[in-house]
Amino acid sequence: MTKSVNTRELILGILLEVTEHEAYSHLIIRNVLDKYQYLDKQERAFITRVSEGTIENMILIDYIINQFSKVSINKMKPVIRSILRMSVYQLKFMDSVPDSAVCNEAVKLATRKGFHNLKGFVNGVLRNISRNLEQVTFPDEKKTPSKYLSIMYSMPEWIVEKWLEEYEYHIVKRILEGFLNKNSTTIRCNTSKITTEELKAMLNQEGIQVNSSNCLDYALEISDYNRINVMEAFKKGFFQVQDISSMLVAEVADIKENSYVIDVCAAPGGKSLHAADKLKETGYVEARDLTENKITLIEENINRIGFTNIEARQQDALILDEKSLEKADVVLADLPCSGLGVIAKKTDIKYKMTPKKQSALVKLQRDILHVVGQYVKPGGVLIYSTCTINREENLENVSWFIQNHEFELESISNYLKDKLQCDTAESGYVQLLPEINETDGFFIAKLRKADRQ
Ligand SMILES: C[S@@+](CC[C@H](N)C(=O)[O-])C[C@H]1O[C@@H](n2cnc3c(N)ncnc32)[C@H](O)[C@@H]1O
């Protein structure tokens, strides 16, 4: 195939899909990289960095553009708006691209996209920004703290205000910094197939940089790799990409061999497969999700890994499944949530969430918990988890649940090592925060059902 594709044009396409058509950035970037597999490592890295960086810093970038453009960013044509955004990202954050090249490429791209008449505008705004970037004035941190944080860390102000009500200022600032610092990828070794040391050696042989984790014996951090799905160890099902926080779900559940586990919201199957691994070829995991597409995703992972003690099943968690009543030793309820803890990985979530959508999620979470709590055997365990950091979706839901159901919180402090330690673990729950705990923002509560015997 000929290399006729222009990387900047691909980036423009990604930005337009995300900002004008509601596409999710991590999915659209992955699709583009899959489609243009012949691009070299440097080109792939450039596409990923500029697309993610532009989306991640969009509030800050728009603030800067608005100081130099007579037409406000919201009034611009989508193509021009996106070209300016990706160019300002490069001017502000990428020393490797000379400013003159950024401006020239932007003008060429605008022309190629049919905006010959606006090339003077694009050129003028960008050259002006490139000359005066250091002179931009930002909101005062002391006088308008939420506005300051919102612009400097590109977080919608309503989210900043919400977090400032729940956490101290310096914690919120660190969380926001954490979202912008990219961590290395964490993987979980499938220890029923290979030891962690063997997996480490295998990855090293493929030239991948691997570090052990202090938090869990079977977790590894990998870096310096191109694509995961071509790694031999991945194809053989020896590991699963998973954040440490997500690994803690099956860890704190303390799954014993021969147990029956129901994961009520399982796709793409990370926690279900972890539970199956912990069962060491015994027991049974039922990995449920809402739609056929989601079931296919789980099945793809099950097939790759090759476990036989797990099956995927389509089932709406809101509808009571009479056959499961009081049958499960462990129910995993890793429920749909606002996802505000994983903004580092799913960059555009912060722009798509609204207070109204978040309230609807709280109701959904309570409705699902009420149904699936009934599948837990007396004396069994329900793990409630979300990848968000808002009290309403987390602790407030747990408080509501234990007030209205025969469950009690149970200590999880024995499972939390090193930087995961926290004051609330003894009480049965943990709220992990990006940067502070060096994980995704994630909530886990362990609930034990009353044993009537
Ligand atoms: C946070 S994700 C689960 C991630 C998964 N536990 C893992 O570790 O890979 C939430 C999942 O809930 C599913 N979901 C949403 N509403 C549902 C419902 N009513 N019934 C079952 N699954 C649902 C979504 O399709 C999504 O896959």
Give yes or no for residue 317 CB within 6 A of ligand 1.
yes
What architecture is the 185-241 domain classified under in CATH? 2-Layer Sandwich (3.30)
244-449 folds as: Rossmann fold (3.40.50)
Is 422 marked as a binding-site residue? Answer: no
Distance 347 CA to ligand 1 centre (A): 19
CB of 294 within 6 A of ligand 1: the answer is yes
Ligand 1 centroid to Cα of residue 290, in Å, is 7
**What is the CATH T-level fold of the domain 7-135, as seen in this structure?**
N-utilizing Substance Protein B Homolog; Chain A (1.10.940)
Smallest CA-to-CA distance from 445 within 390, 404, 399 is with: 399
CA 334 – ligand 1 centroid, Å: 7
Percent of the chain surpassing pLDDT 90: 88
Q: How confident is the model at residue 3 (pLDDT cuts 50, 70, 90)?
A: low
With a 6 Å cutoff on the Cβ, whether 266 touches ligand 1 is yes
C-beta 268 within 6 A of ligand 1: yes
The pLDDT value recorded for residue 114 is 96
Report the DSSP pairing between strands 310-314 and 284-289: parallel
Residue owning the nearest CA to atom 6 of ligand 1:
266
Residue, of 52 and 452, whose pLDDT is higher = 52
289 CB within 6 A, ligand 1: yes
Query: What pLDDT shows up at residue 156?
Result: 97
Which pLDDT belongs to residue 98?
93
> What is the mean pLDDT of the segment spanning 118-134?
96
Ligand 1 pocket, residue 336 CB under 6 Å: yes
Residue 40 has pLDDT above 50, yes or no: yes
The per-residue pLDDT for 452 is 72
Catalytically active residues are 387
Distance CA 78, CA 15 (A): 9
Cross-strand pairs, 311: 286
Annotated binding residue 250: no
- Ligand 1 center from residue 391 Cα (angstroms): 20
Q: How far apart are the CA of 140 and the centre of ligand 1, in A? A: 41
User: Residue 306, annotated ligand binder?
Assistant: no
- In the chain, the percentage of residues whose pLDDT exceeds 70 is 98
268 known member of a binding site: yes
Domain boundaries, the chain: 7-135, 145-180, 185-241, 244-449
* Complex-level ipTM: 0.99
pLDDT at 59 over 80: yes
Q: Grade residue 4 by pLDDT with cuts at 50, 70 and 90.
A: low
| pLDDT tens digits along 277-316 | 999 999 999 999 999 999 999 999 999 999 999 999 999 9
Closest-CA residue, ligand 1 atom 2, reads 336
Give the mean model confidence (pLDDT) for residues 325-342. 97
The gap between the terminal CA atoms of the chain, to the nearest Å, is 69
178 labelled binding-site residue: no
What number does the ligand 1 atom closest to the CA of 339 have? 1
Known binding residue 267? Answer is yes
Residue to mutate, 186, 249, 261, 265, ligand 1, most ligand atoms under 8 Å from C-beta: 265
The confidence score (pLDDT) of residue 306 equals 96
What is the Cα–Cα distance from 393 to 431, expressed in whole angstroms? 11
- Closest atom of ligand 1 to CA, residue 386: 1
**What is the structure's pLDDT at 1?**
42
Taking the centre of ligand 1 as the mean of its atom positions, its distance from the CA of residue 286, in whole angstroms, is 13
